[in-house]
């Protein structure tokens, strides 16, 4: 049943008609639990509140699979606006972005131009930028561009997904770049030819890549809501005397907020992934796919209205 629900919401996440309707009708039906508003001003309010509780943030202007140059440039402008707001408001926040929103599917020249615009502004203002990983078909291209950018910029990292067979090799390939990586389980529907179909295998691979990357001496963001993975990381860093300054935990805005505060109180860097913007529908559907408990929460919210 759980797998059926997951597949259903992942299917819905790609529906263009529903995406258009979602943009038109705004953050109703429970999405505001996971999305910090539609504007940078609304996002700043949320980030400041999280910072005051001792939580770090990475902010993401939502949007993906852009198919024209004008929209890609507009998406890059939103990222520049977010960088400016982080600097102006002195927020403890980084920036996350998807390269499809910067023009990855349109041309290499366009995506590189937009990425350099963003990274130049971010470097000037001391803001770190993480390139989110998307579906498998874009994985290699994303890593190729990341490697090019890493040669020019120190303030850029990317994401690797534990459910892909290739990720262990990707950790090795990236080792010479001394990358700052966010490690995640993965939230897209991928075929068994490229991804572990069973959760237990994904979890084991997740532990393996966390250990590999930490023992390579590189900064590691462990992005998970899973207590077993959190405890594994705590024990690992204790066993190998890895300092807290070499890793952090990350969770999504609106999911397990009490656990986020606990980890911060325990002295760990706890970074919250805070999305905002009008193109929230695909992101929201993937959150429902990941955790069936989220569906119950949203249904309660709808019934109250």
Taking Cα atoms as reference points, which of 254, 155, 169, 259 lies closest to residue 209? 169
| Other CB atoms within 10 A of residue 238 CB | 9
Long-range contacts of 44-47 (CB under 8 A, 24+ apart): 44/85, 44/89, 44/91, 46/253, 46/274, 46/276, 47/86, 47/89, 47/91, 47/92, 47/93, 47/274
266 CB contacts (<8 Å, ≥6 apart)?
none
Q: How many CB atoms lie within 10 A of CB 299?
A: 12
Alpha carbon of 81 to those of 86, 170, 196, 273: distances in Å?
9, 32, 38, 17
- Please list the active-site residues: 132, 182
| Tokens read off for 5 | 């629900």
- What is d(CA 203, CA 226) in angstroms, rounded to the nearest whole number? 10
- pLDDT digit string (tens) for the chain, length 305 residues: 455 545 544 554 455 555 555 455 545 555 677 889 889 999 999 999 999 999 999 999 987 778 899 999 999 999 999 999 999 999 999 999 999 999 999 999 999 999 999 999 999 999 999 999 999 999 999 999 999 999 999 999 999 999 999 999 999 999 999 999 999 999 888 999 999 999 999 999 999 999 999 999 999 999 999 999 999 999 999 999 999 999 999 999 988 999 999 999 999 999 999 999 877 766 766 666 665 555 444 444 433 43
């Amino acid at each position: 049943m759980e797998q059926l629900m997951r597949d259903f919401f992942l299917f819905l996440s790609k529906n263009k008609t529903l995406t258009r309707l979602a943009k038109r009708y705004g953050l109703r039906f429970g999405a505001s639990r996971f999305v910090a508003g539609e504007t940078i001003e609304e996002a700043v309010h949320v980030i400041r509140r999280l910072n005051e509780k001792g939580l770090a943030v990475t902010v993401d202007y939502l949007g993906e699979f852009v198919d024209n140059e004008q929209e890609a440039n507009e998406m890059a402008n939103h990222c520049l606006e977010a960088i400016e707001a982080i600097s102006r408001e002195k927020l403890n926040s980084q920036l996350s972005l998807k390269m499809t929103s910067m023009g990855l599917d349109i041309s290499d020249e366009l995506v590189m131009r937009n990425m350099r615009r963003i990274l130049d502004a971010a470097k000037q203002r001391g803001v770190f930028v993480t390139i989110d990983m998307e579906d498998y078909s874009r994985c290699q291209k994303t890593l190729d561009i990341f490697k090019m950018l890493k040669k020019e910029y120190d303030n850029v990292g990317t994401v690797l997904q534990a459910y892909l067979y290739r990720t262990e090799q990707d950790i090795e390939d990236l080792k010479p770049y001394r990358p700052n990586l966010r490690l995640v389980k993965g939230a897209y529907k991928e075929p068994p030819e490229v991804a572990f179909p069973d959760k237990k295998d994904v979890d084991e691979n997740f532990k393996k890549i966390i250990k590999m990357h930490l023992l390579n001496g590189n900064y590691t963001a462990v992005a998970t809501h899973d207590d077993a993975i959190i405890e594994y990381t705590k024990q690992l860093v204790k066993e190998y005397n890895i300092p807290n300054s070499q890793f952090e935990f990350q969770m999504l805005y609106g999911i397990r907020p009490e656990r986020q505060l606990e980890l911060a109180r325990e002295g760990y860097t706890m970074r919250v992934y805070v999305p905002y913007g009008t193109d929230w529908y695909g992101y929201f559907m993937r959150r429902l796919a990941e955790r069936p408990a989220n569906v119950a929460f949203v249904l309660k919210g709808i019934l109250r209205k």
